[in-house]
Amino acid sequence: MFHIHVERTLAKDIDTVFEAISDHGRYDRFPGVDKSVLVEEGRDEKNGTGALRIIGSGPLELTERITQFERPTTMHYRIEKSSPFSVLHTRGEITLQPDGERTRVIWISEGRMQTPLLGRLLDKVAERSFTKVFNSLLKAVERL
C-alpha cells in the first residue's frame, strides 16, 4: 500500500491556491504534466463534485473523479482508472487552511498498485514519485 502525505505552507492566499489546485483543465502548466483534460464538469461547479479529469505525465495516465468540493478548503478525489498500471485508490484529499496571508496545504493520497508480483515494489516507487510530484506542483502554485 502507498501512503503519500505532503504538507506545505505557500506564500499565497487560500483563494488563489484553491483555484490553482482545482482548475483541472490547466494542470498541464505544472512541471511534468503533459496532459490535462476536464472530461465531465461537476454538478454545481465546473471543477466541483462529480467532475472527471484525466491527468497525464509521459506514459502515466490517471482518470480522477472529484468526490468532495468545498471552496476554498477541501477537494477530495478518487482515481477511477489508471494506465499503464492499475491502482486501487482508497483516499485522495487536499485540505487548505488559511495562515494569515499564507495557506497551509495538506495533500494525502493512499492506495495500492494492483500488479501481480510487483505491486509492493510499485507502491514504494509511487510513494516516492508522487511525493516529489505533489511538492513540485505546490512549488509551481506558489510561483503563479
Number of domains, the chain: 1
Query: What integer pLDDT is reported at residue 60 of this predicted model?
Result: 93
pTM: 0.93
Which residues does 139 contact at the CB level (< 8 Å), separation at least 6? none
Question: Could you give the angle at the alpha carbon of 9 between the alpha carbons of 70 and 52, nearest 5°?
Answer: 35
Give residue-wise pLDDT tens across range 109-140: 999 999 888 878 889 998 999 999 999 999 99
Per-residue pLDDT of 22-78, as tens digits, reads 998 888 889 889 999 999 999 999 999 999 999 999 999 999 999 999 999 999 999
Query: What's 138's domain CATH number?
Result: 3.30.530.20
> What is the residue range of 23's domain?
2-143
Place of cell 495562515: 99
